[in-house]
Structure 1
């Protein structure tokens, strides 16, 4: 790390310069982050799945002077290009003067003399000692851009002292870390805030032994790969846990629902007895996925910490504490000590029970310090709706026992004949049907009710789509939530449109059901999914006619 810090200094990097990292999940990504912090440079990571256009937006907004990348990264056993994507972006990035390239996959890339440098060559020649810069606690540590699914990406600014304090404390307490003996695994990507706080800064500050994995959950080890990838086992996560005796697993509900679709036989083939704590991050976890995780991965003995926080908050805000909090499946339970979370109504009045807007009423150590180069947007986005309160757009409800239930974005709440119905509630009811592995719900325009519910579902592997099954699933929601929540239509689809961080892009599903031209799809993990969904929706509509 100190060698690479000297590499950056040798490239003319100074304190407060911005450095763009566009890398796969390899140790060099962490080394580069820490090298930036050592000299007071500001890193900004761009997830390796993003396109050249996304790179241009982020590099130019940050004014980055150096980019660090790799020739490619491995995905499903094959190289996925990175340097070539960066090359396509560079003509539109006037501030970028140097590129450092890790030779990860041995693929052929174009290297521009004077601008592009091989990582190994620079590091091998660098001085091994780099004294750390002495910095203020409010020195900017990094800028991290939100996914930008609806507007220009926001560069969230985090500083050093408070951020590191909260990331380290929450990592230790929420995961019940025993650093001397535990093997901790956060199965996120360093390109997202979860990777920043709970792969890099929190675990390293606590001296944790961590697993870092490059690849997908359905990519087995080389010895187990047949010529047909469709026949590959889908148990890589469970193989890793068994081999390395992982004690904490932190993953997303999207991944858990995918594991459900693949079947419980995959984890059943492995010894997962080393696990002590399970974590969930990224979106509200529906009770059915919570119970599957509890039974099949945790063997009904591992506490589950369902964590709510955001890129903007920097670290955990609402979560149970293992061994302390009595949990409820699907509930994030309560705010951590010292975190002032309150639900308010439209008028900003505090609610003690029922549904409302999730606000934070007092400062916290890891809070964002602003949006890079956009102070007015910062104030408008987070502080204008309820003056004196931080509000980023999430809704929640609080039950009679004081437990918090996250409902997702308030713009994902539907108005059906004057009744406010959360997409999360309907999605949970859909997934409760034994045939459904994953679901997404949107509100479509309806001349009678204002909005009507449309559900998109992915079936479990053992079920085949049919008109009868679609009707059964619709009626199941009726049984669970009442007739007001019954979907107007259930559309069986092969996959759902997700960002590269795994979040469902319901906006695109609304575009499909409304027959509109699709909005921005640059952050989609697989843009072809939308075409498949549109074809399926049109076919189902024809069947109903």
Structure 2
């Protein structure tokens, strides 16, 4: 992994002051640490673990694992025998041992600039303990699952940390998902408690979250799943008024047997709660991610390994220092929010911004306004957001002082070079390195990423592996490819923060990630390695879509479409989108005598929104009298993707049962409704 000098000379290098203060100041330092992490992982991760409190030390090695399905069950264990508590380490340790009681943990910025607050580490600890006591009064015990369906408000962080404090397992559901999606996740995780809010504004739109939550609980009852016994409801103060309209316009549905107002439950609750000491491999949380079969997978992460990995990746990838103000614009309902809004930053005693709103409300300069307001130094957002803001040009940025910025980051999808250059040159004013991070819900934290002072950058490349991560590229036959190559991105060994299983489905865990290439963790992504050793993510290899940085299952969308009485069959593919990166292009085959028209297309879009959520709304729906299939009946999605992109080079069609189907689809492409 040696970069020739003539190549380095053409790359972006960070300013000298960043290098001087950096935890990893140059590429040779990176190589030295990386070598140690692979050759002596026991010593490497032990040093990281020494930063934390352990009620009981480990009795086993730092990492034990089996990645080869031919040798028995797949497993990963970290610090077996140790006991600790995540909440204690990110709060009590900072308040009592690191003297950070009065340091700001979070600046919360609401949907409206008028709604904001600062929360110290001491405040956070008190609120978390009170919430933990409320959950215990509701009967929550170690190992119980708690569903959280909240917008980006402080109560979301209070609740997830309260769960970790008492050993409960939180399952956070993005508050933009539909009642059906929420029901599915509550049912699969067998949650006994739901925490939600009465409503939330997204821009100008007021959404009745409690109504959606009630619909989800009703669906759970219809499926005869174990009932949620209590629903804890936050009266979201950011929704109390909007242009003088009171929040009671929501007409919040209420069941006194089940529903409890947050404020009433918390009012007289003690501010002290002893932590539950957990085994290193006890479950920490379940987070659902889309699966290629259509049913979301409950990715399970455990306490110790996830704590070590999110802490270290946050510290090094964002080169965190005590005086930084860090802002990740993600929603905590996704893994980015878990790892890099909550656990990673708090483990480092960081000051962070939590943002509830959307990038262009109430004006196109909202992001830049917040950066100036809080003197943000490290800024982490999605390429989708960058492309959206590019449309408004430089003008909104020029109104604000962005000189506090030192490091920029991207997450969720590969960033295209045009957006990278705009981000670097316009937002970062040519002086801030851009860390383009690749990782997954399953990996727990960054696995391919630049380090801001150490890694010469190539726009669009995730560059090199993080410590302890050993990537390689395989061809379809499982053969390793050396040097410059393109194929399947896989990993040889685990790192502490990798997922442990799919909740209640070890077989699916092994089949999804380890069966295709025994001995390797399979990411499902394609990857290219250039002649200098840099890694470039080329996109999903399986039937998955990446819409606005959020992974989505084509099977899940197809299942929703085929619920409509008029639809006999559906196939969904991706189509490039200037803002989202990818959007959904749907082909639907109708039942006999049904007419395809704009009204039907709108019904289908509405059905997908209802079943999955607004983020899954198709951009295009095309009538398909028939779908291109092989003689064995398999839909040729490769062909559909080319049609969706209006590309006439369809490759080999010899295996198609009826090649004329393709001609018909091409001729009708212009009639696709958008």
What's the TM-score, normalizing by structure 2?
0.63
Give the direction of change, closer, same or farther, for the CA distance of 1:132–1:356 in structure 2 (3 Å limit).
same
- In the aligned structure 1, how far is the partner of 2:461 from the partner of 2:204? 37
- In the aligned structure 2, how far is the partner of 1:318 from the partner of 1:455? 26
Map of 2:582 onto structure 1: 504
Name which of 459, 480, 483 aligns with 1:329. 459
Q: How does 1:360-399 map to 2 (within 5 A)?
A: 360-399=491-530
Map of 2:351 onto structure 1: 209
Q: Give SS of 1:198's match.
A: helix
How far apart are 1:510 and its partner, in Å?
5.1
* 8 Å Cα contact 2:292/2:542 also seen in 1: no
How far apart are 1:407 and its partner, in Å?
0.6
- In the aligned structure 2, how far is the partner of 1:133 from the partner of 1:368? 22
Alignment pair present for 1:167 and 2:310: yes
Give the direction of change, closer, same or farther, for the CA distance of 1:542–1:211 in structure 2 (3 Å limit).
closer
* 8 Å Cα contact 1:150/1:520 also seen in 2: no
- In the aligned structure 1, how far is the partner of 2:379 from the partner of 2:260? 36
How many pairs does the alignment contain? Answer: 451
Give the direction of change, closer, same or farther, for the CA distance of 1:333–1:189 in structure 2 (3 Å limit).
same
Map of 1:541 onto structure 2: 670
Map of 2:230 onto structure 1: 98
Map of 1:9 onto structure 2: 136
- In the aligned structure 2, how far is the partner of 1:540 from the partner of 1:368? 41
Stretches of structure 1 lacking an aligned partner (at least 5 in a row): 221-232, 414-422, 428-441, 443-452, 459-494, 497-502
Give the direction of change, closer, same or farther, for the CA distance of 1:455–1:378 in structure 2 (3 Å limit).
closer
- In the aligned structure 1, how far is the partner of 2:330 from the partner of 2:265? 29
Alignment pair present for 1:266 and 2:396: yes
How far apart are 1:78 and its partner, in Å?
3.7
Structure whose alpha-carbon radius of gyration is higher: 2
Name which of 337, 341, 351 aligns with 1:195. 337
* 8 Å Cα contact 1:52/1:89 also seen in 2: yes
Give the direction of change, closer, same or farther, for the CA distance of 1:512–1:322 in structure 2 (3 Å limit).
farther
Q: Give SS of 2:267's match.
A: helix
Q: Give SS of 2:191's match.
A: coil
- In the aligned structure 2, how far is the partner of 1:510 from the partner of 1:95? 36
Q: How does 1:72-83 map to 2 (within 5 A)?
A: 72-83=199-210
Alignment pair present for 1:70 and 2:197: yes
* 8 Å Cα contact 1:149/1:520 also seen in 2: no
Q: Give SS of 1:151's match.
A: coil
Q: Per-residue displacement from partner, 1:437-470 (whole Å, max 9, x unpaired)?
A: xxxxx9xxxxxxxxxx996555xxxxxxxxxxxx
How far apart are 1:127 and its partner, in Å?
1.7
Moved over 4 A (4+): 453-458, 512-521, 526-529, 531-534, 536-540
Map of 1:305 onto structure 2: 435
- In the aligned structure 2, how far is the partner of 1:154 from the partner of 1:457? 27
Q: Per-residue displacement from partner, 1:74-111 (whole Å, max 9, x unpaired)?
A: 21044222111011111232331100000002343122
Map of 2:423 onto structure 1: 293
- In the aligned structure 1, how far is the partner of 2:306 from the partner of 2:463? 23
Name which of 369, 377, 380 aligns with 1:247. 377
Q: Give SS of 1:350's match.
A: coil
How far apart are 1:211 and its partner, in Å?
0.4
Give the direction of change, closer, same or farther, for the CA distance of 1:201–1:456 in structure 2 (3 Å limit).
closer
- In the aligned structure 2, how far is the partner of 1:79 from the partner of 1:148? 30
- In the aligned structure 2, how far is the partner of 1:511 from the partner of 1:302? 43
How far apart are 1:126 and its partner, in Å?
1.1
Q: Per-residue displacement from partner, 1:237-294 (whole Å, max 9, x unpaired)?
A: 0100011110011011111111112222222222111000000000111111111111
How far apart are 1:513 and its partner, in Å?
12
RMSD over aligned CA atoms reads 2.9
Q: Give SS of 2:424's match.
A: helix
- In the aligned structure 2, how far is the partner of 1:62 from the partner of 1:2? 24
Map of 1:436 onto structure 2: none
Q: How does 1:131-142 map to 2 (within 5 A)?
A: 131-142=274-285
- In the aligned structure 2, how far is the partner of 1:143 from the partner of 1:292? 36
* 8 Å Cα contact 1:381/1:392 also seen in 2: no
* 8 Å Cα contact 1:13/1:41 also seen in 2: yes
How far apart are 1:511 and its partner, in Å?
2.7
Alignment pair present for 1:112 and 2:243: no
* 8 Å Cα contact 1:149/1:523 also seen in 2: no
* 8 Å Cα contact 1:317/1:339 also seen in 2: yes
- In the aligned structure 2, how far is the partner of 1:117 from the partner of 1:454? 43
How far apart are 1:410 and its partner, in Å?
1.4
Map of 1:314 onto structure 2: 444
- In the aligned structure 1, how far is the partner of 2:204 from the partner of 2:496? 40
* 8 Å Cα contact 1:256/1:293 also seen in 2: yes
Map of 1:278 onto structure 2: 408
Q: Give SS of 1:28's match.
A: helix
Give the direction of change, closer, same or farther, for the CA distance of 1:131–1:7 in structure 2 (3 Å limit).
same
Q: Per-residue displacement from partner, 1:505-540 (whole Å, max 9, x unpaired)?
A: 5xx315379999889663352566536899x99997
How far apart are 1:140 and its partner, in Å?
0.3
* 8 Å Cα contact 1:148/1:523 also seen in 2: no
* Higher RCO (Cα < 8 Å, 6 or more apart): 2
Give the direction of change, closer, same or farther, for the CA distance of 1:344–1:178 in structure 2 (3 Å limit).
same
How far apart are 1:66 and its partner, in Å?
0.2
Alignment pair present for 1:354 and 2:485: yes
How far apart are 1:351 and its partner, in Å?
1.5
Alignment pair present for 1:186 and 2:328: yes
